[in-house]
Structure formats: C-alpha cells, structure tokens
Amino acid sequence: MNKQIMIDAAKCTGCGLCQVLCSLSKSHQFNPSLARIKIWREETRGVFIPLTCQQCVNPPCVNACLMNVISKDPITGVTVRKTENCIGCRACQIACPFEACSYDHLLNVVVNCDQCGGNPACVNICPFGALQYLPVNEALNTCRDAEAVRRANL
C-alpha cells in the first residue's frame, strides 16, 4: 500500500526534532542541513512549515535529472535516487516545485526523503503530531477535509 508523509503545519512548532533525527538517521550526524526534511520558518509570525518530498506521481525532478538516477518505485510509489551515479549538478533540485530536494554537501549529491523504508523517523519523533504517515487515499481525504473546514471558517 502506498503511504505518504502528511504534514499539518498548524501543529508544527519548529522544534526541529524531525530534522535532527533525519540527519542522524541518514548521515550519522546531528546536522539539520543534512536532513531530508526542512522547516520553512517565519518566526516573527510563528509559522513553521515542514517540507519534504511529496512523492509526486510524475516528479519534475525525474525529467530534470541529467544522469537519469531518479525513478519511482513501482511498489511503494517512493521517488528513489541512485546517488552513487549523481554528479551533484542540482538540476533536479531546481525543478522541484516544493523545494524538497536537499543537497548533501558531504557527498556532493542531491537527496530526497525515501520515507525511511516505510518507517519514517521524522514521523515517529514529532511530539505534536504535525507529521503523520498515512495511506495515500487517507492523506488526500484528510487534506481535503481540513481545507473544507478552513474555508468554512473564513
């Protein structure tokens, strides 16, 4: 079953635990710049928005990749990269409409969230429930319902 990391930015406090654990899990360092999840921060207004790969159905990064190292896993739907063949040109990063690719300056490659093989570390550590790992249909329904409530309260 295809699953997706669902983000509820209204619950995000910007604590950064997701970034720290992701960087530790993926690069073995406590370095948020190496995380595959980023938090866009507008601290003066108290707005924090986690950003991660949206696992697009037709990812723009695939077409932008000069080395053809990006593909979709046909079983999980996850956008995967063969980083050993990546030349670090960052064309895929520019093509991503969600700014969800990250440049790993230690390895000189671009990486994205691979959902930790079905057990996302960021979801497991989020203390406020801003991140959830849901089946795609449930994630879409949750998104739709939340937007309907938001618009009704305008």
Fold of 1-52+114-154: Alpha-Beta Plaits (3.30.70)
| In the block, residue with structure tokens 């230690």 | 106
The one-letter amino acid code at 15 reads C
Residues with Cβ within 8 Å of residue 85, at least 6 apart in sequence: 67, 69
Domains 1-52+114-154 and 56-112 share a fold: yes
Burial class (CB in 10 A: 0-12, 13-18, 19+), 46: exposed
Number of C-beta neighbours around residue 117 at 10 A: 8
Q: What is the rounded distance in angstroms from the CA atom of residue 123 to the CA atom of residue 129?
A: 8
Consecutive 10-residue averages of pLDDT for the chain (154 residues): 88 97 95 95 93 93 96 92 95 94 94 95 96 87 73 77
* Model confidence pLDDT, tens digit, residues 42-60: 999 999 999 999 999 899 9
Query: pLDDT at position 139, please?
Result: 75
Query: Please, what is the end-to-end C-alpha distance for the chain in angstroms?
Result: 35
Q: What is the rounded distance in angstroms from the CA atom of residue 13 to the CA atom of residue 19?
A: 13
Query: pLDDT at position 1, please?
Result: 53
Domain ranges in the chain are: 1-52+114-154, 56-112
56-112 is a CATH 3.20.20.70 domain: no
Q: What is the rounded distance in angstroms from the CA atom of residue 86 to the CA atom of residue 81?
A: 8
pTM: 0.87
